[in-house]
Amino acid sequence: MSAVSTASVDRDSGALAVGPDSRWNLLTRIAFRFCFTYFGLFCVIFPQFLFVYTGVLGPKLPERAINGFLYPLSPIWEWVGRHVLGADVQLHLDSGSGDQAIIWVFLFCNLVVAVVATGVWSVLDRHRPNYQRLNAWFMLFIRLCLAGQMLFYGMAKVIPTQMPEPALTTLLMQYGDFTPAAVLWTQVGSSPVYEILLGSAEVLGGLLLFLPRTATLGAMLSLVSMAQVFVLNMTFDVPVKILAGHLVLISLVLLAPQARRLANVLVLQRSSEPAGQPEPFRSRRIRLVAVGVQVVLAGWVLVGQVQQDMEFWNEGGGGTEKPALYGIWTVSEFTQDGRPLAPLTTDQDRWQRVVFDVGGMTYQKMDGSLVPVVGAVDTQAHTVTVSKAAGDALPGQIAQAQPAQIGTFTFAQPAPDRLRLDGQLNGHQVTLTLEQVDLNSFPLRSTGFKWVQDYPHFS
């Protein structure tokens, strides 16, 4: 019996149901075996894919939980790196990079396993005509994996925490000192509305993926969104290339069965059968229950991401209360041991500016370099205690758990835009007179939207 004679349109799901005796061609069967193994292992092992489904329980889990099975299996990748690839790799848990050397080793291992498994599977199961039922479960799994990641990254933009508003120290840096990734982060963070719209598209794609009837549209929207992210990661050297690239590939895997239908409708202007997802459930009642479960999962993940992103927004993002003395302060006078220091760019002791921001305190040296420090401001006692930033040890020294104190000051603020610091700094008695910088003097902060522009505002 031919595939054509056994094919019919499922009226309940809108999907094309193929009879159990229909035979896939050889390349389709091999491609399925490879994709099933490679993307199945990737989604199970790679960080975040399963973690997003912890929902509101995520923050209660250990911090390393987000790394998924990549962390407990890291000895395997380390062994392969050392003995097969000749590379000494390790998983850096304190790094936000998704392109670490050990992750590339994991990809190598995953590819080798998928190729070998595909070969063995193809030999042992060469007489099977198709994998209709297994394919339905596989498509459901990777569809939910992609949906979770779209919500994970989308909500971080809808609540603009992924690319936050540029810090005050950013306003003092030269453009040429930015890395390409910092340029991208600053560009997107400078326009919260743009970031929110980007995130909204990702969230919409993720939500559409949770429903079988809208999953194809969700996969198309996810493909466009992730293709843009992948290009940005590649061209701005953002270390999320592996994940972004795989999200593009997973979107393509989901759309592959619909390729002919989409081509008929979008390109060839022909009629086509309804585009639907393969159903792993035979009963209409069970299908309805499964749809309900997927809707609940969508809500669970969405609520969890909103909770986590709002927490971050309020505790370190744009919703955080501004600290005391917030702003950029220019040092107009600097006296050390009773002797005024001239504002020379060669002076290593004099400060040029002091910045109090949500992320902490920073001082700028006369040569323009910025030094982050730990600044504790006590508004009741009118004191400022300055310590080295964590890990900021001198060469040959071990970073201390408690940052070393480098200065203590009492402060007076005779006017809102005037500040005076008196105290000890690096063993010297110092007095600093500071004037607050008007943040709107920076075009990045003050240039607003205009419908009418006779000349472009590039400077």
Of 331 and 456, the structure prediction assigns the larger pLDDT to 331
Query: How high is the pLDDT of residue 155?
Result: 97
Question: What is the pLDDT averaged over residues 249-260?
Answer: 94
Mean pLDDT of the chain: 90
Residue 375 scores a pLDDT above 70: yes
Query: How high is the pLDDT of residue 307?
Result: 94
User: Which CATH number fits the domain 327-391+402-445, given the four candidates 3.30.930.10, 3.40.710.10, 1.10.3720.10, 2.40.128.20?
Assistant: 2.40.128.20
Q: How far is CA 61 from the centre of its chain?
A: 19
Query: How high is the pLDDT of residue 193?
Result: 95
Query: How high is the pLDDT of residue 391?
Result: 59
Confidence band of 398 (pLDDT split at 50, 70, 90): very low
Q: Which helix (H) or strand (E) covers residue 435, if one does?
A: strand 428-436
Query: How high is the pLDDT of residue 277?
Result: 79
In order of 96, 229, 304, 315, the CA distances from 51 in angstroms are: 16, 21, 11, 22
CB atoms within 10 A of CB 66: 17
Residue 293: phi, psi to the nearest 5? -65, -40
Residue 399 scores a pLDDT above 50: no
List, in sequence order, every residue forming a beta bridge with 355; answer none if it has no partner.
328, 362
Confidence band of 359 (pLDDT split at 50, 70, 90): confident
Residue 15 scores a pLDDT above 70: no
Token pair of 241 as six digits: 């290339």
Q: Which long-range contacts (CB under 8 A, 24 or more apart) does 51-55 make?
A: 52/148, 52/149, 52/151, 52/152, 52/301, 52/304, 52/305, 53/148, 53/297, 53/300, 53/301, 54/304, 55/300, 55/301, 55/303, 55/304
CATH code 2.40.128.20 region(s) in the chain: 327-391+402-445
CB within 8 A of 1, min separation 6: which ones?
A: 19, 21
Helix boundaries (H) for 159-270: 180-189, 192-209, 215-235, 241-255, 259-266
Confidence band of 393 (pLDDT split at 50, 70, 90): very low
CB atoms within 10 A of CB 26: 10
Question: What is the pLDDT averaged over residues 191-211?
Answer: 96
In order of 48, 89, 313, 344, the CA distances from 108 in angstroms are: 19, 13, 37, 54
**pLDDT tens-digit series, residues 166-198:** 999 999 999 999 999 999 999 999 999 999 999
Token pair of 315 as six digits: 């505790």
Query: How high is the pLDDT of residue 80?
Result: 96
**pLDDT tens-digit series, residues 281-338:** 888 899 999 999 999 999 999 999 999 999 999 988 888 899 999 999 999 999 999 9
Cα gap 117→294, rounded to integer Å:
31
- Kindly calculate the radius of gyration of the chain based on its CA atoms and give it in whole angstroms: 28
Task: Categorise residue 87: left if φ over 0, alpha if ψ from -120 to 50, beta otherwise.
Answer: beta
Query: How high is the pLDDT of residue 20?
Result: 54
Taking alpha carbons only, the member of 274, 279, 226 closest to residue 250 is: 226
Cα gap 392→199, rounded to integer Å:
35
Token pair of 242 as six digits: 């592996």
Question: What is the pLDDT averaged over residues 252-272?
Answer: 89
Token pair of 135 as six digits: 């394919």
**pLDDT tens-digit series, residues 39-88:** 999 999 999 999 999 999 988 898 888 988 999 999 999 999 999 999 99
CB atoms within 10 A of CB 327: 19
pTM metric for this prediction: 0.88
- Secondary structure class of 310 (helix, strand, coil): helix
Cα gap 406→411, rounded to integer Å:
16
